[in-house]
Amino acid sequence: MKYRRFGKTGLDLSVVALCTKKKLASAETAYQTLQAAVSLGINHLETAQGYGHSEQYIGAALQNGLTVPRSQLYITTKLPPTPDAATMAQRIDQSLDRLQVDYLDALAVHGLNTWEHLAWVEAEQGCMQAIQQAMSDGRVRHVGFSTHGALDVILAVIKTDLFEFVNLHYSYFFQRNAPAIDLAYDNDMGVFIISPADKGGLLYTPPPTLEQQCQPFSPLELNYRFLLSDPRITTLSVGPANASELMPPLAVADRDGPLSPAEASAFARLEAYQVAVLGRDRCSQCYACLPCPEEIHIPEVLRLRNLAIAFDMTQFGQYRYRMFENAGHWFPGNKAIRCTDCGDCLPRCPETLDIPTLLRDTHQRLNGASRRRLWE
């Protein structure tokens, strides 16, 4: 296991963090998974009030006696932004009670996704007042934020200089947030990558086409190496259902140096293959097509189409596409079928894509039963 400095927090975190968001079916399973994680060198545990019984499970595991003492573990929990300090203060106390700890190593404002959320954070009597009080009395040691928001919102939040770290989405197949990582790094903020295997492409169960194109590596391995080779990034979350599922990500947890020639060659092949398969229908993710009058997130829709066609990542595309119109500010945008052929996007596309036709094609490929966020 390798460790990196988590920005201005000064914490030395394992490059793999245990996220207890999903699947841990019982307190016993949670204890076994946490025990395996810490014995393998993971020193960072991440949870949230919105993650079911996760906080309680961690609290019980700590009380049952993990082999690593509390003083050598870093616990992060996440609380949603609130427009007032009193609600946030109450939630901080609730998390401390559930975790059965006297302090949080880190608290992240969870889902700081919109301009309204940013206004709550910056308000004089907003949620940051309660967080700053908890920091002054030692109940919270470091503060950051997690986000699924648009890049301009993320950049604005970083520029407030209120936070010491950021949790955000970024992976080989989704590099939109690279400027946010740059800005966070320039401001000495820790950078925590959310769900690089799941939201990064369902890489635990890749389709055969993607597996073939990644040879001699697995898609999961390549994505982890893409992230760990980046010195701006501190740590990656993994969310196993049990102890055995820790092993694939930990197989690369000691390889955080620059990409090898073979790895770089594999990424070059992936890029060339996507270009060759998609031809002139490939969306390069410039985002010039936005805003859309019908509030369709055109670049994200077409990114999912790129992956479904080039690498047969249809299951992943369906998983994400079906969240449109069903996940609120966590995954904003209307489905592609809402396109009215207004043509507003067409003159702004530098690749002269037939965007309305591609939107309809994507909807036909990926639509189905709607999806909501896991814990809803």
- The length of the chain in residues reads 376
Beta strand 235-238 pairing with 44-46: unpaired
DSSP string, 25-62: -SHHHHHHHHHHHHHTT--EEE--TTSTTHHHHHHHHH
pLDDT, tens only, 255-301: 999 999 999 999 999 999 999 999 999 999 999 999 999 999 999 99
**Alpha-carbon distances of 221 from 12, 177, 217, 266, rounded to whole Å:** 23, 21, 6, 11
pLDDT value for 375? 41
Q: In this structure, what token pair is assigned to residue 207? A: 């389709």
Name the β-bridge partners of 12.
Answer: 5
Backbone angles phi, psi at 306, to 5 degrees: -50, -50
- Residues in the chain with pLDDT < 50? 373-376
pLDDT value for 328? 93
Task: For residue 125, count other CB atoms closer than 10 A to its CB.
Answer: 12
CA atoms within 13 A on the CB side of 194: 20
CA atoms within 13 A on the CB side of 276: 8
* Type of residue found at 20: T
Task: For residue 216, count other CB atoms closer than 10 A to its CB.
Answer: 8
pLDDT value for 372? 54
What's the longest Cα–Cα distance across the chain? Answer: 62
Q: What is the DSSP letter of 199?
A: T
**Alpha-carbon distances of 95 from 24, 58, 92, 126, 261, rounded to whole Å:** 18, 11, 5, 19, 46
How far is 233 from 194, CA to CA, in rounded Å? 11
How far is 301 from 359, CA to CA, in rounded Å? 7
How far is 367 from 279, CA to CA, in rounded Å? 23
What's the mean per-residue pLDDT of the chain?
94
Instruction: Let me know: does 68 contact 43? Beta carbons within 8 Å.
Output: yes
Burial zone of 67 (CB within 10 Å; 0-12 exposed, 13-18 middle, 19+ buried): exposed
Name the β-bridge partners of 140.
Answer: 104
Name the β-bridge partners of 106.
Answer: 76
pLDDT value for 369? 59
Contacts of 125 (CB under 8 A, 6+ apart): 84, 85
Residue with tokens 């490929």: 365
pLDDT value for 26? 83
pLDDT value for 245? 85
